[in-house]
Amino acid sequence: MGTPTMEDVAKAAGVSRALVSLVMRGSDKVSDASRERVLTAAAELGYRPNLAARHLASKRSLTIGLVLNDLHNPFFPEVADGVHDAAIDAGYHVLINSGFLRGDLEREAVESFIDLGVDGVLLAGARISSADLEQLATRVPITVIGRHLRSTAVDSVNNDDRAGGRLATEHLIELGHRRIVHVDGGQGAGSSQRRSGYTAAMRDHGLEPEVISSQFTEEAGLRAGQRIASEGPAPEAVFAANDVAAVGVLGALADHGLRVPEDVSVVGYDNTSLAGIHHISLTSVDQDRRTMGSLAVEVLLERIGGSRRGAVHHVIAPSLVRRATSAER
């Protein structure tokens, strides 16, 4: 007879189906004796509630969808850890989808989460357009992690990328560097703020900003590094918009015989596990990803629960972690 249903459990326990439903949902309007009977009957039959049916009837799924922009960037797994912790605590399940670095696929991922009936969606490192985001937010509560928003419909949790960009740049300036090139993150989340923090810090110190357009991937960092190393004299320092790109830059510099940090200092962003690897030991701007993930869940659940109307935008302060790739001139 296939997998047991609530009906089967009710029959086995000698009660009505509605009573079983109450027990399964942990209601306190059930006598201990009945609860006991139902629970043992359910255990004996190996009964498990059918989520699709529950969801169809109740309009809630106790599930949130998490869209990660790029599974290959170690930044995201750590966000996912924080999300999981907080979600489990709140009794929610988490389902993950990858955006494969593409805004259109992110949109699709969100849509399939909506079709699936999740109660809310978390977007990490989102590259999706603001217009799409606003539109999707009319259909499901959305919180974005790691991207700046001034939306009234979508909540966000982020670090202060502008301050982080400034932090990295001023660190290099303090070390005595004057010609500092920024390898930016293109359309990536937070990229323009990091760039603007860099530019502002340079100007403040009477230095000329020099930006190379790039992407949040090692591949793109490598290409940027090759340009830096081959076109004219090498700069004194490079600030890459994230760790993954910084690693690409490091590789290109090494290929061209440039020593780090003796010839060129390099700073990254995110302080991912990559930066901590002994052989890389990359100076990087840290944002507490785990906390951001947990905070995002809280914010999302507030909106799902309807305990808040307006949007909230959390911004946490980044900090600089000094390692071996940056040194005095």
Which residue type occupies 121?
V
Task: Pick the binder of DNA from 57, 232, 257, 278 (CB under 7 A).
Answer: 57
Distance of closest approach, residue 50 Cβ to DNA, in angstroms? 3
- 49 touches its own copies by CB under 8 A: yes
**Sequence-ordered strand ranges (E) for the chain:** 63-68, 93-98, 120-124, 142-145, 155-159, 180-183, 210-212, 237-240, 265-270, 283-286, 313-316, 319-321
- 60 touches its own copies by CB under 8 A: no
Distance of closest approach, residue 14 Cβ to DNA, in angstroms? 7
Measured CA to CA, the distance from residue 223 to residue 240 in angstroms comes to 12
- 24 touches its own copies by CB under 8 A: no
Distance of closest approach, residue 3 Cβ to DNA, in angstroms? 7
Distance of closest approach, residue 312 Cβ to its own copies, in angstroms? 26
When computed from its CA atoms, the radius of gyration of the chain, rounded to whole angstroms, is: 25
Strand order from edge to edge, sheet including 283-286: 210-212, 180-183, 237-240, 265-270, 283-286, 319-321
Task: Pick the binder of DNA from 11, 30, 72, 108 (CB under 7 A).
Answer: 30
**Site mask for DNA (CB under 7 A), range 158-197, x = bound:** ----------------------------------------
C-alpha dihedral over 6, 9, 11, 15, to 10 degrees?
-90
Distance of closest approach, residue 266 Cβ to its own copies, in angstroms? 11
Residue with Cβ nearer DNA (26 or 206): 26
Q: Is-contact 144 132, C-beta < 8 A? A: no
Question: For binding to DNA (CB under 7 A), which residues are involved?
Answer: 2-3, 5-7, 15-19, 21-22, 24-25, 28-34, 47, 49-50, 53-54, 56-60
